[in-house]
Amino acid sequence: MSGVIGVLTAGGDCPGLNAVIRAVVGRATEHHDAEVVGVQNGWEGLMNGRTRPLDRDDVRGILSRGGTILGTSRMDPYVHGDGYESVRRTIERNGIESLIVIGGDGTLRTALKLSEEGLSVVGVPKTIDNDIAATDYTFGFDTALSIATEAVDRIATTAESHNRIMLVEVMGRTKGWIATYAAIAGGADGLLIPEVAYDLDDIAAVLKRRHRQGRTYSVVVVAEGVAPPAGMPVDHPIDAFGFERLGGVAYQIAPELESRTGFETRVTVLGHLQRGGTPTAFDRVLGTRFGAAAVDLALAGHSQVMVAVQSDKMVSVPLTDACQSIRGVDEDLYGLAATFFN
């Protein structure tokens, strides 16, 4: 054997997680003759010693399955324990020499802190939100985008029959990648994302002009993370782990647009539909590339790094680069979507 690698999935799940796990196990066992220990339920399993060995047979048939065979949680050793001390026993008992951490920005920040305390860590960028810095894409985004685009297409035909305005709310906690790409791919007539301040009077004027010019419906894509209309409360329940539970801002926006335009306005919130089900081919391939690259880095002795895709090449970036900001949609891309709001 040439080493023991741990692997865990933490934070919200994401299509393609199983592709990454499969690639980690396949690359480690078949290519490097190394051993893999799967940590169950994210950081919670690492704190409580819940692990299991993973071999090639354990990961057969999972490539096309959504979710994660390891389970995940939003527990954090720095919030629910005392940092490295709360995971040290599991690391030592399993002889884990390097930990592959598959997660979004919060998980990667925790991984960075642990690596600063001495744990050898390689990160893999995971989120449907596509907002992790230093990588062109995260896996899961493409799957969520294809679901959101199909929803826009479907909503458009029913909107057309009723001369309605339809708001399609998609995920995107702080950034509007899914919303912007779905708006471009679905030919939406309006787009609200956290990166760009919106004015309901301006949007209503554009929509009214559309309908005056003979269009019989309008679809507006709304990212869940946009602020509610001026004067309305931000009212997000807090979950068991202290995270704001987003979703539903479109219900605050819809009556405002209806009263300004005079057109009946309806809302569809896609929610977790975007995270469930089988990953697209793109996400399976990206997840496989990420998983294999992470193993190569871990077994070559690298730590405090994250695998990333830049200009279609697998690269390794410092974990600090990935954690220092959240990547948003730039003005050009928003402008491209807005070209067609007429």
Binding positions for ligand F6P, rule: CB under 6 A: 12, 104, 127-129, 171-173, 224, 239, 245-246, 275
Compare residues 127 and 146 and give the one whose CB is closer to ligand F6P: 127
Rounded least distance, CB 123 to ligand F6P, Å? 16
Which of the following is catalytic: 13, 76, 105, 129? 129
Helix (H) or strand (E) holding 7: strand 4-9
Compare residues 26 and 172 and give the one whose CB is closer to ligand F6P: 172
Rounded least distance, CB 65 to ligand F6P, Å? 18
Compare residues 171 and 329 and give the one whose CB is closer to ligand F6P: 171
Helix (H) or strand (E) holding 109: helix 105-116
Q: Give the span between the Cα atoms of 189 and 10, in whole angstroms.
A: 36
Residue 28 has a CB neighbour count (10 Å cut-off) of 30
Compare residues 83 and 276 and give the one whose CB is closer to ligand F6P: 276
Rounded least distance, CB 174 to ligand F6P, Å? 9
Residue nearest to ligand F6P (CB): 171
Residue 34 has a CB neighbour count (10 Å cut-off) of 21
Q: Give the span between the Cα atoms of 166 and 158, in whole angstroms.
A: 9
Residue 259 has a CB neighbour count (10 Å cut-off) of 11
Q: Give the span between the Cα atoms of 127 and 138, in whole angstroms.
A: 6
User: Who's near 299: CB < 8 A, 6+ residues apart?
Assistant: 2, 3, 5, 28, 32, 34, 98
- Catalytic site includes residue 129: yes
Rounded least distance, CB 248 to ligand F6P, Å? 11
The token pair that represents 100 in the structure block: 């592959």
How is the chain split among helix, strand and coil, in percent rounded to 5?
40, 20, 40
Active site amino acids: 129
